[in-house]
């Protein structure tokens, strides 16, 4: 059976959770491969809405084993708050596995994150202040604490205390308040004890499942243009959300991946700073925010909005080796008089089709538009492609023309069932 990767193709918030939830029904394992609780995945089932930050979206199926892979950084207070919330609503988390190789986030990571962001002044990156970046820094400089270390509680406590004391020196250098070492140790020793039943060798678990012929879904957080290497640096996350990161963050080899589904909104959004060629800063942008409810799941921040940018999608197709695209939130465009699509950039009078390699150059581009008449009718809940209005189908055709790959799914509303699935 296949290994499938789901990756965001814009700046995040593309509706990955809904697509993952749809695909999860035919997979035995759904695994997160990077990021942390800076992710915000929303799943709507019937009249119930679930917002996930760490738990893989496959948790809603009794047949699925949800896995937090080795590439994830794990905030235990958030994880257990999420587990408690799911359990209180009748969703079992007993099948959840957390990689022994994943790194843990601690309060000093969040304190360092906040101090660094405050020190940037007007050059703020727009970090979620969740401690994600500092946790990855500790991982890279080999001073992090991994999930598997909770299996040896005495050694874990000793290392935790030593690392907290060292972190206070870093905070002092940043002019930030120290963390309460004793309180942190007490809290996280308790959390560590609770974590023990979830700890697993997920690398071998995934390989064994694949060799048994079980289907595996690898779930990315954030998105291509937030990737620390391929995104709009420095306005990026601290990990590799691109499909290549799925191999590193899960332990499955690149040749084991069979399908890469790219998720894109029928328009574009981003949170935080950085260039945004197709951005709408007028009443049309405000309408996209209002109709699309474009506020961050994790932060509540208002998202910046703009028309669909297929230059970005072409680049995302290349970087991720996309096999197909899921185009979400088509219904948000139902009331517009016209719908625009950016199909190229103009830089100093020259029309280019390739995505620029620097944010400085990206900031200079002007979009080249292709304009469609608005369809001015409701697409919400439509499940047949032929039932979509002609202009809506034309939008899908532009995406396929510009990327060279098929649009396999079209989202027509927030609910689990509001999706056109094409053969």
CB neighbour burial string for 270-297, b if at least 16 within 10 angstroms, e if fewer: bbbbbbbbbbbeeebbebbbebbebebe
Is 152 labeled as catalytic in the residue annotation?
no
Distances (CA, A) of 111 to 128, 135, 172, 183, 228: 12, 11, 11, 15, 21
Q: What is the DSSP string of 26-82?
A: T-SEEEE-SB-TT--EEEEETTEEEEESSS-GGGG-TT-EEEE-TTBEEEHHHHHHH
Instruction: Report whether the peptide linkage leading into residue 267 is cis, meaning its omega lies within 30 degrees of zero.
Output: no
Q: Measured between alpha carbons, how far is 251 from 34 in angstroms, rounded to an integer?
A: 12
Residue 295's SS3 state is strand
CB neighbour burial string for 145-181, b if at least 16 within 10 angstroms, e if fewer: bbbbbbeeeeebbeebbebbeebbeebeeeebeebeb
For the chain, count helices (H), then strands (E): 12, 19
Residues 6+ positions from 397 with CB-CB distance below 8 Å: none
Catalytic residue, candidates 27, 37, 41, 315: 41
Catalytic residue, candidates 13, 113, 138, 331: 13
The pair of structure tokens assigned to 118 is 């405050």
Is 337 labeled as catalytic in the residue annotation?
no
For residue 146, list its beta bridge partners: 103
Q: Measured between alpha carbons, how far is 31 from 98 in angstroms, rounded to an integer?
A: 10
Distances (CA, A) of 27 to 137, 202, 205, 375, 388: 33, 16, 14, 36, 29
Q: What amino acid positions are annotated as catalytic residues?
A: 13, 41
């Amino acid at each position: 059976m296949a290994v499938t990767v789901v990756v965001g193709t814009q700046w995040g918030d593309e509706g990955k959770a809904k697509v993952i939830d749809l695909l999860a029904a035919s997979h035995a394992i759904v695994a997160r491969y990077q990021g942390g609780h800076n992710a915000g995945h929303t799943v709507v089932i019937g009249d119930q809405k679930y917002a996930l930050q760490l738990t893989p979206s496959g948790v809603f199926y009794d047949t699925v084993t949800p896995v937090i892979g080795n590439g994830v950084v794990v905030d235990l207070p958030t994880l257990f708050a999420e587990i408690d919330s799911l359990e209180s609503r009748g969703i079992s988390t007993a099948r959840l596995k957390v990689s022994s190789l994943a790194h843990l986030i601690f309060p000093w990571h969040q304190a360092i994150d906040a101090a660094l962001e405050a020190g940037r002044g007007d050059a703020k990156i727009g970090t979620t202040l969740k401690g994600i970046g500092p946790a990855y820094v500790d991982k890279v400089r080999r001073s992090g604490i991994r999930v598997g270390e909770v299996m040896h509680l005495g050694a874990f406590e000793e290392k935790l205390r030593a690392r907290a004391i060292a972190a206070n020196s870093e905070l002092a250098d940043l002019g930030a308040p120290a963390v309460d070492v004793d309180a942190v140790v007490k809290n996280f020793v308790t959390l560590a004890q609770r974590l023990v039943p979830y700890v697993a060798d997920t690398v071998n678990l995934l390989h064994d499942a694949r060799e048994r012929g079980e289907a595996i879904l690898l779930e990315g957080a954030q998105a291509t243009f937030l990737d620390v290497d391929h995104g709009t640096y420095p306005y990026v996350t601290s990990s590799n959300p691109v499909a290549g990161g799925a191999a590193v963050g899960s332990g499955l080899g690149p040749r084991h991946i069979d399908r890469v589904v790219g998720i894109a909104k029928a328009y574009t959004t981003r949170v935080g700073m950085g260039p945004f060629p197709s951005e709408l800063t007028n009443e049309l942008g405000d309408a996209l925010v209002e109709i699309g409810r474009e506020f961050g799941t994790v932060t509540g921040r208002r998202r910046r909005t703009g028309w669909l940018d297929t230059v970005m999608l072409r680049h995302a197709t290349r970087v991720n080796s996309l096999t197909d695209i899921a185009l979400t939130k088509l219904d948000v465009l139902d009331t517009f008089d016209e719908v625009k699509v950016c199909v190229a950039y103009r830089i100093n009078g020259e029309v280019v089709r390739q995505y620029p390699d620097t944010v400085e150059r990206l900031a200079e581009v002007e979009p080249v538009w292709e304009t469609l008449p608005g369809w001015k009718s409701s697409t919400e809940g439509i499940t047949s492609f032929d039932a979509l209005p002609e202009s809506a189908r034309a939008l899908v055709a532009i995406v396929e023309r510009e990327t060279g790959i098929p649009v396999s799914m079209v989202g027509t509303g927030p609910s689990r069932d509001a999706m056109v699935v094409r053969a």
